[in-house]
A and B are shown apart, each in its own frame.
Chain A
Amino acid sequence: MNCGFCGKQIPTEVVKHGCGGCPMAGGCRKICCPHCGYENPAPPKFLQRWLKPSAAPREDDPA
């Protein structure tokens, strides 16, 4: 997942388990970008499949 503000990739661990260290950790349904601090919405499972892999990153993912 890429941050909606700085465009950098948010590590999978942060996406899966939240950023930690904040009073809302785990329950805020947000993913805090470790690079810039922007709060990205954490899509629930039923919506995740609509996030196309090609659309999620800001740069083309050749991998």
Chain B
Amino acid sequence: MAVTTSPTSPERRIILVGNPNVGKSVLFNALTGAYTTVSNYPGTSVEISRGHAELGGGRYAILDTPGMYSLLPITEEERVAREILLKEQHHLIIHVIDARNLERMLPMTLQLIEGGLPVMLVVNILDESERLGMTIDIALLQEKLGVPVIGAATTRKRGLKEIREAIVGFDGQRRAVFGYASDLERDILKVGSLLHGDYALHPRALALLLLQRDEEVARLVAVTEGGGYAAIEAAVNAVVFERRSDLHLRISLERKRVCRGILEGVIQQEVRSGIPFGERLSGWMMNPWTGFPILLVALYFGLYKFVGGFGAGTIVDLLEGTLFEEIINPWAIAQADQLIPWYWLHELLVGEYGVFTLGVRYAVALVLPIVGTFFLAFSVIEDTGYFPRLAMLVDRIFKKIGLNGRAVIPMVLGFGCDTMATMVTRTLETVRERIIATVLLALAIPCSAQLGVILGLLSGVPGALMVWTAAMLVIFLVIGFLAARVVPGEQPMFYMEIPPLRLPQLSNVLVKTLTRMQWYFLEIFPLFIIASVILWAGKLTGALAGMVNLMRPVMDLLGLPSEAAAAFIFGFFRRDFGAAGLYDLQTAGLLSPVQLTVAAVTLTLFVPCVAQFLMMKKERGWKVSLGIFGFVSLLAFSSGWALNLLLLATGVLS
């Protein structure tokens, strides 16, 4: 290995690596004492700590790297940490891991060992793992890994003496080899045997990184191998083509399998009351038989009762019905009657579409309490760690609609704001997934305020919410299913590590809720004011009446009164503005239960708001976004028309 320092060098370098929050810095401080320097790694803004230690009469340079989860980097910190491993001379690499999460962190130890690096493993936070009833057989783990393993609890100074002794007596010659499945071994050999240059990592580890499409490693190999790189690239491409998209997943799963084998007999879990409740609950959340009932319970209490009942019901009644309609608006109108003689200005401020009577009222009294309660419920669920489990739960269903569990991220975010969620679709692996997710977001995922208003309105009509939910679910699945067949492309695999389930922290939940409320309010408030000004101008010029007349035949087809056209025109500006328009129609008693349900379904499906459309154009281009716009509009009105006929024919809700 080209960058390994000689045991006889005057100063040997030790590099500390590991996940964030495993106690690397505590170990660094314990080894180096007070004399350390912190500087940016050359060419980056990532800070690196350096210090020295005198151990067993020898002087060692100690380097603390930024947290990294794997040798395959994603963040700049991980890139820097790997570059240090690849370029800095080293006598020893100390990998620090959390004793409570051995199975999650050991794959990186394997990567370091198969990279041919001189590794010592420190199993830290042993005090906490023991408190949880875990006993770790350090000697057995050392025997299986073939590298020195030290148990420690560095915050309690436990294991520091043993770590110092192990550093002094370190012998980098001992090394174990771990075998993967035979087909994967063949692929590794095919690529690895073509690597002839002098590298800091063993060809086996380099071959795996090349197969995982690591661009930096590919560049390094291209420079080192020169003319021989073409054959390596061809071998990598052939394997990737043969194994298709599951190669990355395959390597991760194989490494997990090897780790499970290594940990067999290493960890003894004290039987207190069987498996901890948190782990059992986590399993139930991902099991389809128990996961969907749990999801329904979360939706019933979190969305229906809390957002729909309390937010859109109790608080909106208080703010909109009592505070604005009975106190603030009459006062504002009376003041305007006295002080403003000009009709146009009177209308602009306190008229039917007045800035105050419509814009401010919608934003403050209708939308804010709804998104506030929604974001509170959302933050509680998010802080428990439920969302990754939801991703695992729906993975199989999502595969039927051309997506996978990863698409839960934009879908869940879409309930907050569809515009931002449309942007997040870029994190999906393939163009096909991005298009399908964009269509479904534009079509069947209502944003928080729209959802809250609809829940509040429909919960007052027996059966209406059930019909709306069923309609949304059927359309989401049918359109997704059809889109998966129409849009060509590959179906990538989904794999993610599940973080621990935990009790939500009150401070975290409140901060996240208030942050999201602030963001939402600052975004919608000016837009609501602008929308009311446009509507006011439309009313004065007669353009609004013209548009309502233009939409009258469509409203007739849906069985809706012509006044409902205004809500659809509002919906052009923002989804939540349209839903608020529906709220006004319902409180004015203009809609029957069938009409309310048809309007709610059509308005939910109806075209995305202006901001979401612009984001779609930005992400997918004019052609795709206009196609989605036309398709969604047509489907919304056809679905509304069909639902109206169905409800009238069956007598449901009549």
Tell whether A pairs with B: yes
| Nearest CB in chain A to that of B155: its residue | A62
In the complex, how many angstroms separate the beta carbon of A1 from the nearest chain B beta carbon?
Answer: 10
- The 0/1 profile, CB within 8 Å of A marked 1, for residues 495-530 of chain B is 011011010010110111011101100000000000
Q: Is the CB of B515 within 8 A of A29?
A: yes
Category for how many chain B residues contact A: 35 or more
Q: Is the CB of B508 within 8 A of A55?
A: yes
Choose among B21, B23, B505, B515 the residue that contacts A41 (Cβ–Cβ < 8 A): B515
Q: Is the CB of A28 within 8 A of B420?
A: yes
**Does B295 make an interface contact (CB < 8 A)?**
no
Complex: A38 Cα to B77 Cα, angstroms? 19
Contacting residues, chain B, for A44 (C-beta < 8 A): 515, 518
Contacting residues, chain B, for A34 (C-beta < 8 A): 74-75
**Does B46 make an interface contact (CB < 8 A)?**
yes
**Does B361 make an interface contact (CB < 8 A)?**
no
- The 0/1 profile, CB within 8 Å of B marked 1, for residues 28-61 of chain A is 1110101111110111100110111001111111
**Does B67 make an interface contact (CB < 8 A)?**
yes
Q: Is the CB of A7 within 8 A of B499?
A: yes
Q: Is the CB of B77 within 8 A of A11?
A: yes
In the complex, how many angstroms separate the beta carbon of A2 from the nearest chain B beta carbon?
Answer: 8
Choose among B409, B427, B507, B518 the residue that contacts A55 (Cβ–Cβ < 8 A): B507
Complex: A12 Cα to B157 Cα, angstroms? 28
- The 0/1 profile, CB within 8 Å of A marked 1, for residues 146-181 of chain B is 000000001100000000000000000000000000
Choose among B69, B515, B518, B615 the residue that contacts A8 (Cβ–Cβ < 8 A): B69
Q: Is the CB of A6 within 8 A of B388?
A: yes
Main secondary structure of the interface of A (DSSP, over half): loop
- The 0/1 profile, CB within 8 Å of A marked 1, for residues 74-101 of chain B is 1111000000000000000000001011
Contacting residues, chain A, for B618 (C-beta < 8 A): 23
Given the known interface contacts A11-B77, A29-B515, A62-B125, the answer about A37 and B508 at a Cβ–Cβ threshold of 8 Å is: no
Choose among B155, B382, B514 the residue that contacts A4 (Cβ–Cβ < 8 A): B382
Complex: A47 Cα to B518 Cα, angstroms? 11
Q: Is the CB of B45 within 8 A of A13?
A: yes
Given the known interface contacts A44-B518, A59-B98, the answer about A7 and B21 at a Cβ–Cβ threshold of 8 Å is: no
In the complex, how many angstroms separate the beta carbon of B215 from the nearest chain A beta carbon?
Answer: 15
Q: Is the CB of B518 within 8 A of A11?
A: no
Category for how many chain A residues contact B: 35 or more
| Nearest CB in chain A to that of B391: its residue | A5
Q: Is the CB of B21 within 8 A of A38?
A: no
Choose among A9, A28, A60 the residue that contacts B125 (Cβ–Cβ < 8 A): A60
Q: Is the CB of A36 within 8 A of B505?
A: no
In the complex, how many angstroms separate the beta carbon of A4 from the nearest chain B beta carbon?
Answer: 5
CB contacts between A and B, total, < 8 Å: 122
Complex: A42 Cα to B522 Cα, angstroms? 14
Complex: A45 Cα to B516 Cα, angstroms? 14
| Nearest CB in chain B to that of A63: its residue | B25
Complex: A30 Cα to B45 Cα, angstroms? 21
In the complex, how many angstroms separate the beta carbon of B376 from the nearest chain A beta carbon?
Answer: 13
Given the known interface contacts A5-B388, A44-B518, A52-B505, the answer about A11 and B497 at a Cβ–Cβ threshold of 8 Å is: no
Contacting residues, chain A, for B66 (C-beta < 8 A): 11
In the complex, how many angstroms separate the beta carbon of B549 from the nearest chain A beta carbon?
Answer: 37
In the complex, how many angstroms separate the beta carbon of A45 from the nearest chain B beta carbon?
Answer: 11
Contacting residues, chain B, for A13 (C-beta < 8 A): 45-46, 76-77
Contacting residues, chain A, for B77 (C-beta < 8 A): 11, 13
Contacting residues, chain B, for A14 (C-beta < 8 A): 75
Complex: A28 Cα to B388 Cα, angstroms? 24
Complex: A24 Cα to B417 Cα, angstroms? 14
Contacting residues, chain B, for A62 (C-beta < 8 A): 21-23, 26, 124-125, 154-155
Q: Is the CB of A51 within 8 A of B511?
A: yes
Complex: A59 Cα to B101 Cα, angstroms? 10
In the complex, how many angstroms separate the beta carbon of B604 from the nearest chain A beta carbon?
Answer: 22
Contacting residues, chain B, for A4 (C-beta < 8 A): 382-383, 387, 512
- The 0/1 profile, CB within 8 Å of A marked 1, for residues 216-257 of chain B is 000000000000000000000000000000000000000000
In the complex, how many angstroms separate the beta carbon of A61 from the nearest chain B beta carbon?
Answer: 5
Given the known interface contacts A5-B409, A8-B69, the answer about A51 and B507 at a Cβ–Cβ threshold of 8 Å is: yes
Choose among A30, A35, A50, A60 the residue that contacts B420 (Cβ–Cβ < 8 A): A30
Q: Is the CB of A51 within 8 A of B502?
A: no
Q: Is the CB of A42 within 8 A of B420?
A: no
Choose among A6, A28, A32 the residue that contacts B496 (Cβ–Cβ < 8 A): A6
Complex: A30 Cα to B508 Cα, angstroms? 15
Complex: A55 Cα to B424 Cα, angstroms? 26
| Nearest CB in chain B to that of A40: its residue | B512
A47, A48, A63: which has the most chain B beta carbons within 10 Å? A63
Q: Is the CB of B516 within 8 A of A50?
A: no
Q: Is the CB of A39 within 8 A of B424?
A: yes
Complex: A56 Cα to B387 Cα, angstroms? 17
Choose among A50, A58, A63 the residue that contacts B499 (Cβ–Cβ < 8 A): A58
In the complex, how many angstroms separate the beta carbon of B203 from the nearest chain A beta carbon?
Answer: 28
In the complex, how many angstroms separate the beta carbon of B13 from the nearest chain A beta carbon?
Answer: 22
Known contacts A30-B519, A32-B424, then 4 further A-B pairs from the complex at CB < 8 Å, ordered by chain A residue: A22-B426, A35-B74, A37-B426, A63-B26
Q: Give A contacts to B, CB under 8 Å.
A: 4-9, 11, 13-14, 22-24, 28-30, 32, 34-39, 41-44, 47-48, 50-52, 55-63
Q: Give B contacts to A, CB under 8 Å.
A: 20-26, 45-46, 66-67, 69, 74-77, 98, 100-101, 124-125, 128, 154-155, 382-383, 385, 387-388, 406, 409, 413, 420, 423-424, 426-427, 496-497, 499-500, 502, 505, 507-508, 510-512, 514-516, 518-519, 615, 618
* 13 A-B pairs whose Cβ atoms sit less than 8 Å apart in the complex: A6-B496, A11-B46, A22-B426, A23-B423, A29-B519, A39-B424, A41-B512, A55-B507, A59-B100, A60-B128, A62-B26, A62-B155, A63-B24
- Which 5 pairs from chain A and chain B are nearest by CB? A7-B499, A37-B427, A9-B20, A41-B515, A63-B25
